[in-house]
Amino acid sequence: MNPWIATLAVLLGYVLGAISFTRIVGHYIAPGGDMGKADIPIRGSDKTFHLRSYGATSIRAKAGAKYGCLTSSLDMIKVTLPTLVFRLLYPEADYFLIAAAGGVAGHNFPIYYKLKGGRGFSPIYGGLLVIDWLAIPVTTLLGSMAGFWILRYAFVSYFGVTLLLIPWFWFRFPERAYFIYAVAVNVFFWIASIPELRMYLAYKRAGEFDKAGRFEGLDDEFTCGPLIQCARRLGLLKDKTKHV
C-alpha cells in the first residue's frame, strides 16, 4: 500500500464527510435555528429525550421525514462518492475502505464545526453501498430481530446494526482490512453516541419503559434511521412524527 495514496484517501474521505448537511438543510428550512438540538417527547411519560446530534435523525425529529430523508441521502452520498472513486481507481488495494472510514470520522467529528457532528449511521450506509451492499439488509434485519423480538429494546436495533458489521466482515471476507474497517467505524459511532447512551441508561434505570421493554416514543426515531426516514417519505410507512 502506498502511504501517500492512503493519506489522500483518508483526507478526502474526512473532508467530504465533515460537510454537515444537517446544518446546510437546516439553514434552508429554518434560518437561525439549531438543527442539532431536538427534544423528543416520550409517549406515556412526562420525560423528554434530548437529542444533541447534527445528523438526519435530528432533522427528522424537528422537520419531518421529507427533510430527514433528504439529509440522510446527502450524508450517504458524501461517503459513497470518495469510496467509489478509490475502489474504481485502485480495485486491488484497500484505499476505498480508508476513504469510507475517513468519511464517517469526518461526519462524526467535523473539523469545520469544532468536532460537533452526527453519529454516523447514514455515512456508514453510504460506504457500505460500495464496500458490501449486502451488509445493509443483513445487519438491518438481524439488528431488528435482536432489538424487537429477542431482547425487545428499540435501542438494541439501532446500535446493533453497526455492531453486527464486525462479525459480518470477519466471516464474509478473508482480508483483515474489512474487519479493521468495521471496528474503526464502530469506534467512531460509539464514541459519538455516548450522550444518547448515557441518557438512555439513565431512563432505563428510572424505569421509563413499558412492559414490552420498548422505549415509548423513541422507536420511530432510532430504529434503522435512514431506511425508516426514506420509507416514510416515499409513503411506504406512516409518518407519526410530531414536530418539536
pTM of the full structure: 0.82
Q: Of 238, 242, 234, nearest to 72 (Cα)?
A: 234
Label residue 240 by pLDDT band (50, 70, 90).
very low
Cα–Cα dist 63/110, whole Å: 23
* Total number of domains in the chain: 1
Which contacts qualify for 150-153: CB closer than 8 Å, 24 or more apart? 151/213, 152/212, 152/213, 152/214, 153/213, 153/214, 153/215
Q: Of 30, 44, 24, 55, nearest to 244 (Cα)?
A: 30
In a domain, 242, yes or no: no
- Distance between first and last Cα of the chain: 49
Residue 177: CB partners within 8 Å, gap ≥ 6?
94, 97
In a domain, 244, yes or no: no
Question: Could you give the count of Cα atoms lying within 13 Å of 31 in the half-sphere of its Cβ?
Answer: 1
Q: What is the pLDDT of residues 168-220, one digit of tens each?
A: 999 999 999 999 999 999 999 999 988 877 877 777 677 665 544 444 445 45
In a domain, 167, yes or no: yes
Cα–Cα dist 193/195, whole Å: 6
Cα–Cα dist 200/205, whole Å: 9
Q: What is the pLDDT of residues 105-158, one digit of tens each?
A: 999 999 989 899 988 889 999 999 999 999 998 988 887 776 555 555 566 666
Q: Reduced to 3 states, what is the DSSP secondary structure of residue 52? A: strand
What is the per-residue pLDDT for 153?
59
In a domain, 193, yes or no: yes
Cα–Cα dist 174/195, whole Å: 35
In a domain, 180, yes or no: yes
Q: Of 100, 81, 97, 85, nearest to 1 (Cα)?
A: 97
| Ranges 39-48, 54-63, 65-74, 202-211: which has the least confidence | 202-211
In a domain, 111, yes or no: yes
In a domain, 239, yes or no: no
Sign of CA dihedral 105, 106, 108, 109: positive
Cα–Cα dist 154/57, whole Å: 15
Place of cell 409518518: 239
Whether 16 shows a pLDDT value over 70: the answer reads yes
In a domain, 241, yes or no: no
Higher pLDDT, 48 or 220: 48
Residue type at position 144 = S
- For residue 211 the three cell numbers come to 412492559
Q: Reduced to 3 states, what is the DSSP secondary structure of residue 25? A: helix
Q: Enter the DSSP assignment of 13.
A: H
Domain that holds residue 84: 3-233
